[in-house]
Amino acid sequence: MERICISDYMSVELMTDLDATSKNEALSEMIALISQSSNIIDTKQFEDAIYKREKLMSTGIGYGIAVPHAKVNGVKDFTIALGRSKAGIEYESIDDKPVNLIFMIGASDTQDKAYIRLLSRLVLRLKDQKLLKRLQKAKDTEEMYSLICSN
């Protein structure tokens, strides 16, 4: 089984410091960001799927992290965007703590097994507290991307 590398699906252009102060603002900002990727071919379908997923259960997984994700036919291939909020955003996380890092994932509806592997790999990487702290303190998106690629 081929190893999934998170950085293969990210780029510095899909990383930003968020202006958002609420969960919905953050999701909107992240959808606009990830939609810059040529892999997102139906932004409206992807957006609808993201909000539908959030209504089911918050993707705030705790430790200051949220991983909103959707798998739809309006996406060609895996794409991951990263948004950072230095102030933190109330996100209805499972630990009731604000979110500082949002990793938004888009995937094709044909990528079932690989999708689960990608989500698992990302969550495993996000258990590294040193990496999380370094991402939060990075001076810019280039440094954030470098941290993702080197870990």
Mean model confidence pLDDT for the chain = 94
Dist CA 146 CA 133 (whole Å): 14
Residue 112: per-residue pLDDT = 87
- Which range among 1-5, 66-70, 124-128 shows the weakest confidence by mean pLDDT? 1-5
Assign 2 a pLDDT band (cuts: 50, 70, 90): low
| pLDDT per residue as tens digits for the range 9-42 | 999 999 999 999 999 999 999 999 999 999 999 9
Could you tell me the pTM of the whole model? 0.95
Residue 14: per-residue pLDDT = 97
Q: What is the DSSP string of 92-150?
A: --TT-PPEEEEEEEEEETT-HHHHHHHHHHHHHHTT-HHHHHHHHH-SSHHHHHHHHHH
> Quick one: average pLDDT of 37-65?
96
| pLDDT per residue as tens digits for the range 72-95 | 999 999 999 999 999 999 999 999
Residue 3: per-residue pLDDT = 63
Dist CA 47 CA 53 (whole Å): 10
Dist CA 112 CA 14 (whole Å): 23
Active site residue ranges: 69
Hey, what CATH topology would domain 17-150 get?
Mannitol-specific EII; Chain A (3.40.930)
* Residues 119 and 67 sit within 8 Å (Cβ to Cβ): yes
